[in-house]
Structure 1
Amino acid sequence: MAVSTAITGTAAGVPFRAVPPQGDPADAPVVAAWHLMDAPRTEAAFAAALPLAGLDAWRIYLGLPMHGARLPEDGVDGLMRLGYEDAVRNLYGPISAQAAEEFAPAYAELRSRLGFRDGPIGLLGGSLGSAVAQLVLAEGGFDVAAAVLVSPMSQLSPVVEAMGRRFGVTYPWAEPSLEIARRLDFVARADELTGCPATLLVVGEEDDEPGFRAPARRLRDALAQRSVEAGLVIVPGMGHVLAEEPGTEPAPQLPEAAEVDRLAVDWFSRHLG
């Protein structure tokens, strides 16, 4: 009999929130999801914003390093200080790298504990969480049937430039940060993303054009040129975030997030099997 309540805890040190399927939990597919650095910025808040309502699958929301239960000792202030010191080398690079690296052991432990099947999975990520999903796809060796990337970080450099415009600073690129940018340039790495046959990119109409919307179009085009079923949807009225601040606890779903949820459920229902 299917379990109806969410299961929370840690797996291989990674905080998670797992929502069981409506049907047979041993035979349902799995969607792994990573939240944004902006709201919603924890696994619980992301699960409330994008619950994948009506999708008969395991929905496993994973907490990013340096967020939620794993904030630095001095909390949000410490996280912000690291960002001001060097957002690429202190935040974007290490958070995405660690989250992608810790997914395999966390997934293995969750499969052992929850008993879900070992088969093609779905990947869902928002903003920096989308970079984690793409790293897992490119480097993780998983059988991925479908991916949904929301407010996606398709290329790091334009994102950093967008943040610079927002805060009135110019980021001092150097070789260590350029190396991170190359790793997180998924347009350039499109050949490594073709193992997933169906990828949907969802961007807000009010999100930054050069930082997010234009790179999403470039990634969609690069994937389509490589025979991937690649979709791009612009959600009217949506900016970059998917929940109200502070974005750390479950909150009422915004209308724009409900539309993203509907799009993701439709995509996974058609492609995840």
Structure 2
Amino acid sequence: MSGTAAGVPCTALPPAGGGRAPVIVTWHMLDAPWTDAAFAAALPMRGVPAWWVHLAMPMCGARMVDGRLDAAIELARRDALLAFLAPFVRQGGRGIPGRPEGTSRAPADRRPRRTPVPVDGGGAPSGGLVRLCRAGRRAGSGAAAAGERRAGHPDLRVDAAALVARLAHAELVDVLELAHPLAEEPGLEPAPQLRTAKAVDEVLTSWFTRQLAA
């Protein structure tokens, strides 16, 4: 189902068994899949007993300028970190809503509980990432699941290992032959799941299920 939450376009998926369940809110990638609907198809994580609310990132999907990604790509060309990734993370964070509007009401378990927080620091300046990690530790909810290629970019693996070491319940998982995209380009519409995306889906499904059961 699709709609908007606090003015942000989103795609919401109910738990396979229906009924009351926790809600997990995500952002899609800044690569294929570029939209909330395409992300939901690439990584459905149907085995997780939770509602999924996939939010559209700024200038992506229903929020694209003139229906194209050109404006976002121009920002990346101008300054990939400060003009593109950092503002997207800040704006996306401010847009996290409470409950979807314009869709079927998603029943959520309102009882206080520890909620897993997946963290991807790939696009955030280091200061913001450190603040996010510290906030997670204070709340007792810092957690992450990370996947990457086994070969290439050794410096990124060192950074990923350092991040995982600072967060509770975190894992660093090797996914063979995993490139950055998790869907075929252009990745704007839902499409059949790639083999590598299926591997990531299985890793994340297992991790989220364990965290929700803890």
**With structure 1 as the length reference, what TM-score do the two structures score?**
0.69
What are the superposed Cα offsets for residues 164-184 of structure 1, whole Å, 9 maximum, x if unpaired?
xxxxxxxxxxxxxxxx5421x
Letter in 2 for 1:191: R
Letter in 2 for 1:37: L
Q: Which residue pairs with 2:191 in the alignment?
A: 251
Give the percent of matched residue pairs that are identical in Structure 1 and Structure 2. 35
Task: Report the Cα offset of residue 268 of structure 1.
Answer: 1.4
Aligned length: 211
Structure with more strand by fraction: 1
Quickly say closer, same or farther: Cα 1:144–1:207, change in 2 above 3 A: farther
Q: Which residue pairs with 1:190 in the alignment?
A: 133
Classify the secondary structure of the residue corresponding to 1:196.
coil
For 2:28 and 2:82, locate their aligned partners in 1 and report how far apart those are by CA, in whole Å: 20
Quick one: higher RCO (CA 8 Å, sep 6+), 1 or 2? 2
Tell me if the contact between 1:206 and 1:239 (Cα under 8 Å) persists in the aligned partners. no
What are structure 1's unaligned runs of at least 5 residues?
Answer: 1-6, 122-142, 157-179
Letter in 2 for 1:61: H
The answer to whether 1:101 aligns with 2:46 is no
Tell me if the contact between 1:155 and 1:181 (Cα under 8 Å) persists in the aligned partners. no
Quickly say closer, same or farther: Cα 1:38–1:206, change in 2 above 3 A: farther
The answer to whether 1:84 aligns with 2:77 is yes
Q: Which residue pairs with 1:153 in the alignment?
A: 121
Quickly say closer, same or farther: Cα 1:208–1:153, change in 2 above 3 A: farther
What are structure 2's unaligned runs of at least 5 residues?
Answer: none
Letter in 2 for 1:213: R
The answer to whether 1:114 aligns with 2:105 is yes
The answer to whether 1:69 aligns with 2:42 is no
What are the superposed Cα offsets for residues 187-240 of structure 1, whole Å, 9 maximum, x if unpaired?
x75332223154322223356332x322111101222xxxx1221101111121
For 1:43 and 1:144, locate their aligned partners in 2 and report how far apart those are by CA, in whole Å: 25
Map 1:157-236; keep pairs closer than 5 Å.
180-183=125-128, 185-186=129-130, 190-194=133-137, 195-196=140-141, 198-206=143-151, 208-210=153-155, 212-223=156-167, 228-236=168-176
Letter in 1 for 2:160: A
Letter in 2 for 1:90: A
Task: Report the Cα offset of residue 97 of structure 1.
Answer: 0.6
Aligned CA-pair RMSD: 2.6
For 2:111 and 2:146, locate their aligned partners in 1 and report how far apart those are by CA, in whole Å: 19
For 1:154 and 1:87, locate their aligned partners in 2 and report how far apart those are by CA, in whole Å: 11
Classify the secondary structure of the residue corresponding to 2:29.
coil
Tell me if the contact between 1:29 and 1:120 (Cα under 8 Å) persists in the aligned partners. no
Letter in 1 for 2:116: A
Classify the secondary structure of the residue corresponding to 1:146.
coil
Quickly say closer, same or farther: Cα 1:268–1:209, change in 2 above 3 A: same
Match of 2:33 among 17, 40, 43: 40
